[in-house]
Amino acid sequence: MRILRSTGVIRSVLPLMIVVLTMAANTAHAEDIKIGVILSYSGPFADNGRQIQNGIDLYMKQHGDTVAGKKIVLLKRDDTGPVPDVAKRLAQELVTRDKVNFLAGFVFTPNALAAAEVSAEAKVPMVIMNAATSIITTKSPYIVRVSFTLPQVTVPLAQWAAAHGIKQVYMMTSDYGPGHDAAGAFEKAFTAAGGQIVGKVSMPLMSPDFAAYVQKVADAKPQAVFLFVPAGQQPTALMKTFAEQGLTRSGLKILATGDVTDDAVLQSMGDAALGAITSHHYSYVHDSPENKAFVKAYVAAFKDIRPAFNAVGGYDGMAAIYQALAAVKGDVSDPDKIMAAFKGMTIDSPRGPITIDPATRDVVQTVYIRRVEKVDGEIVNVEFDKVPNVKDPGKAK
């Protein structure tokens, strides 16, 4: 009797059970969240791409590959270096064919600008993990940047130099967006503080002949130089040229953005970099428990490689995406809701807390003034001064 009755119950609830089970199955197989990652994985700037990818991978290793019940899938594409046509084609394919929910990565400004058109047209949120020309975030309302901008790190350095007895500077910067931004910001802030620019040169982005430019600096005999070249192989070549031509020994002060004393290559620069004063948002010896944990995990995961600022860009970019996805509960159907989640967001970065300016979608952060020193036999960027809460001055016109 009891058995018959329960069989009857089962029969009557069976259709409902099937519906519930089918729904559960659908949720488990709900569409993955796809992130199209465009980086320079090959070519002369492959190390920058590798650092960003390591940062992304470390974040996912520590936080898992699901957010709000959805699986995160990376679709990695190699732009091979500063080649905007390739970056644009890759972004188009990722958006139209692969239907990615996010674009992310971007070592280079020209590539980010090319992909920005795709982001704006298709309304695809795009997370900039390095590219640092001020204007990038204005090119699509769907762009957010977690890295830095050249004016953001340059203005504090120019002001520091003027306040510390440096009166005459010669500027050497790469002839493309970030170099123009760095030179423009340095000249404006330094001259406003009473300094004088005694010479400047804009060097080709690819394969510049540093010896010829450094000779010009030697002839001009300035008190200091201000340098920006993109991180990668060029900083070592540039710093070694200064040392070889005897300029560093002659007392010339070297000022640069932290790209030039990138932690990834600083050790291999050797003593040529010692004494250089730079400004940046991240040093791998930044003294905080968060950074110590980050460095430990990074070195353990990728063996003997130091995390550099690019790695932090990748790590924080993923943190931003995970936070935004949690805020929209994994529902990626409305890009405006995702962008609303990015705006005003705070991230506990290894560099210290950063926020996303809701008005510009650009990163607001502490900028550190550092000196290259040898500490326990290691050549590192020692932070000794800082300016908190720096917004991109490039947009405060």
Residues at the contact surface with ligand PHB, assessed by CB under 6 A: 107-109, 130-133, 178, 230-231, 259
Q: How far apart are CA 387 and CA 397, in angstroms?
A: 20
Could you tell me the smallest distance in angstroms from the CB atom of residue 167 to ligand PHB?
Answer: 28
Nearer to ligand PHB, 187 or 259 (CB): 259
Contact by Cβ (8 Å): 60, 72: yes
Could you tell me the smallest distance in angstroms from the CB atom of residue 175 to ligand PHB?
Answer: 12
Chain residue whose CB lies nearest ligand PHB: 230
Q: How far apart are CA 189 and CA 151, in angstroms?
A: 10
Here the tokens at position 194 are 């009473």
Nearer to ligand PHB, 107 or 325 (CB): 107
Could you tell me the smallest distance in angstroms from the CB atom of residue 204 to ligand PHB?
Answer: 14
Report the amino acid identity of residue 2.
R
Nearer to ligand PHB, 37 or 131 (CB): 131
Could you tell me the smallest distance in angstroms from the CB atom of residue 316 to ligand PHB?
Answer: 16
Nearer to ligand PHB, 40 or 101 (CB): 40
Nearer to ligand PHB, 107 or 127 (CB): 107
Strand-pair category, 70-78 with 102-105: unpaired
Nearer to ligand PHB, 70 or 145 (CB): 145
Question: Rounded to whole angstroms, what are the CA distances from 156 to 13, 152, 335?
Answer: 69, 7, 35
Length of the chain: 397
Q: How many helices (H) and strands (E) does the chain have?
A: 12, 15
Q: How far apart are CA 349 and CA 294, in angstroms?
A: 9
Could you tell me the smallest distance in angstroms from the CB atom of residue 105 to ligand PHB?
Answer: 12
Report the amino acid identity of residue 291.
N
Could you tell me the smallest distance in angstroms from the CB atom of residue 131 to ligand PHB?
Answer: 4
Q: What secondary structure does DSSP assign to 53-93, as a single string?
A: HHHHHHHHHHH-SEETTEEEEEEEEE--SS-HHHHHHHHHH
